């Protein structure tokens, strides 16, 4: 095992076991260089890999903090619908149905918008030409100002956000509903058909980035999360 792998492993174990809790600062880089008798570069490489996995977040002049334990990361993983469709051997399709830039209309939207405006998007995702998901998404231009220049008729907002706007915290809400008339038309199903609804919010260092509601026909989509137990947990 290389030294940077050892540092990475020790910190990962501390995070996954709960020894280092979400929001807690991990040791400063100079403290780790002294502990392991190595260079600052070796420590930085280990921490960069932890950040790449979403386990920690770096804050300038404040240090590096635990973002979330591994079990939460697995459950809250943000799916790339295009990659999922293609992984199933289907041809992915995408249509932008509507795009509006506007002010917040409710207190909840104002909390997301911060000091800026919102991009309000309606999209349709397809698999082999068959409707897979209706998406309604709000993006905060305060948190993601570059979104204003993106042509979302050519790239889906979810994929762009995954590539361009990293998140440190996410919340999923999953429910089952019967399709109303508008949803049924959009998904080419009968009103009342059972649908899976995924509502998600993401933040970056406490600042809201996006809020999305995706509605899937119940027989066309499922969600699977695989994760490991923290140290000391029992089945």
pLDDT in tens, 182-210: 999 999 999 999 999 999 999 988 899 99
pLDDT band at 234 (very low <50, low <70, confident <90, very high): very low
Name the residue range of residue 28's domain: 3-73
Q: Determine the Cα–Cα distance for residues 206 and 212; give it in Å rounded to an integer.
A: 17
Q: Determine the Cα–Cα distance for residues 42 and 110; give it in Å rounded to an integer.
A: 42
- Do 212 and 114 lie in a common domain? yes
- Do 144 and 40 lie in a common domain? no
- Do 60 and 118 lie in a common domain? no
Predicted confidence at residue 4, as pLDDT, reads 84
Does a structural domain hold residue 192?
Answer: yes
23, 66 Cβ separation under 8 angstroms: yes
CATH code for the domain in which residue 187 is found: 3.40.1410.10
Q: Which residue has the higher pLDDT, 60 or 214?
A: 214
- Do 68 and 80 lie in a common domain? no
Provide the CB-side half-sphere exposure for 119 (13 A, CA).
Answer: 25
Q: Which of 24, 45, 73 is a domain's end point? A: 73
Burial class (CB in 10 A: 0-12, 13-18, 19+), 167: buried
- Do 122 and 65 lie in a common domain? no
Predicted confidence at residue 232, as pLDDT, reads 41
pLDDT band at 78 (very low <50, low <70, confident <90, very high): low
Number of domains making up the chain: 2
Query: Tens of pLDDT along 22-63?
Result: 888 999 999 999 999 999 999 999 998 888 777 888 887 788
CATH code for the domain in which residue 35 is found: 1.10.10.10
| Stretch 6-32: mean pLDDT | 88
Overall pTM > 0.75? no
- Do 58 and 83 lie in a common domain? no
Name which of 53, 82, 86 is nearest 70 in CA terms.
53
């Amino acid at each position: 095992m290389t030294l940077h792998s050892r540092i990475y492993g020790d910190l990962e174990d501390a995070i996954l076991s709960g020894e280092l809790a979400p929001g807690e600062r991990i040791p400063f880089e100079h403290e780790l260089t002294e502990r392991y008798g190595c260079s600052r570069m070796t420590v930085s490489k280990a921490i960069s890999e932890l950040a790449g996995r979403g386990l920690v977040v770096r804050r300038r002049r404040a240090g590096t903090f635990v973002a979330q334990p591994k079990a939460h990361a697995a459950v809250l993983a943000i799916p790339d619908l295009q990659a999922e469709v293609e992984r199933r051997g289907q041809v992915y399709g995408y249509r932008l149905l509507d795009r509006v830039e506007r002010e917040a209309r409710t207190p909840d939207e104002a909390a997301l918008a911060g000091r800026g405006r919102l991009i309000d998007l309606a999209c349709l995702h397809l698999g082999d030409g068959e409707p897979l998901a209706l998406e309604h998404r709000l993006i905060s231009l305060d948190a993601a100002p570059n979104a204003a220049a993106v042509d979302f008729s050519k790239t889906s907002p979810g994929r762009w956000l995954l590539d361009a706007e990293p998140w440190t915290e996410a919340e999923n809400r999953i429910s089952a509903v019967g399709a109303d008339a508008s949803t049924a038309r959009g998904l080419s199903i009968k009103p009342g058909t059972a649908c899976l609804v995924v509502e998600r919010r993401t933040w970056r260092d406490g600042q809201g980035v996006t809020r999305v509601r995706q509605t899937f026909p119940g027989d066309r989509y499922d969600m699977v999360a695989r994760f490991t137990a923290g140290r000391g947990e029992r089945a």
